[in-house]
C-alpha cells in the first residue's frame, strides 16, 4: 500500500499562493474574493527571468455571476513584488 503525502500550498502572508504557468492565484477559493496575477512579460536578470509587467485582478469567487461582473478591481504593475503587495491589501480589505 503506497503512502500518500498531503502537500500544503505555498503561502504568502498566511494565504495560499498557487502558480500555473504565468498565472498566480492568491487567497482562499472559499473566501468572497481572490486575486489573479498574470505575468505578461519578463526580462532576464542574470540567469533568472524576472517579471516586468504584471496585471492584477480582484475576482469574486461567486460562480453565479457572469465573468465580466466577477472582476471587481484591476491594476497593472512593473514587478511581481508590487503585485503581491497590492494583492495582499485587496484580499485583506
Residue of 1 and 85 predicted with greater confidence: 85
For residue 50, what pLDDT is reported? 92
Asked whether residue 84 is assigned to any structural domain, the reply reads yes
pLDDT in tens, 16-35: 999 999 999 999 999 999 99
pLDDT by residue (tens digit) across 30-69? 999 999 999 999 999 999 999 999 999 999 999 999 988 9
pTM above 0.75, yes or no: yes
Residue range of the domain that includes 71 = 11-92
Considering its fold, how many domains does the chain have in total?
A: 1
What kind and span of H or E run contains 89? Answer: helix 80-92
**3 in a structural domain:** no
87, part of any domain: yes
Domain-located, residue 2: no
Does 5 map to a domain? no
CA 8: distance to chain centroid? Answer: 16
Q: Starting at the edge strand that comes first in sequence, how are the strands of the sheet with 23-26 ordered?
A: 11-12, 15-20, 23-26, 33-45, 48-60, 71-77
Domain presence at residue 1:
no
Torsion angle (degrees, nearest 10) of CA 24, 27, 32, 35: -30
Amino acid at each position: 500500500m503506497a503512502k500518500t503525502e498531503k502537500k500544503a500550498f505555498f503561502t504568502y502572508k498566511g494565504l495560499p499562493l498557487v502558480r500555473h504557468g504565468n498565472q498566480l492565484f492568491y487567497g482562499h477559493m472559499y473566501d468572497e474574493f481572490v486575486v489573479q496575477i498574470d505575468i505578461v512579460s519578463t526580462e532576464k536578470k542574470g540567469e533568472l527571468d524576472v517579471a516586468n509587467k504584471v496585471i492584477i485582478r480582484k475576482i469574486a469567487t461567486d460562480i453565479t455571476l457572469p465573468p465580466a461582473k466577477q472582476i471587481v478591481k484591476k491594476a497593472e504593475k512593473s514587478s511581481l513584488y508590487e503585485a503581491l503587495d497590492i494583492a495582499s491589501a485587496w484580499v485583506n480589505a
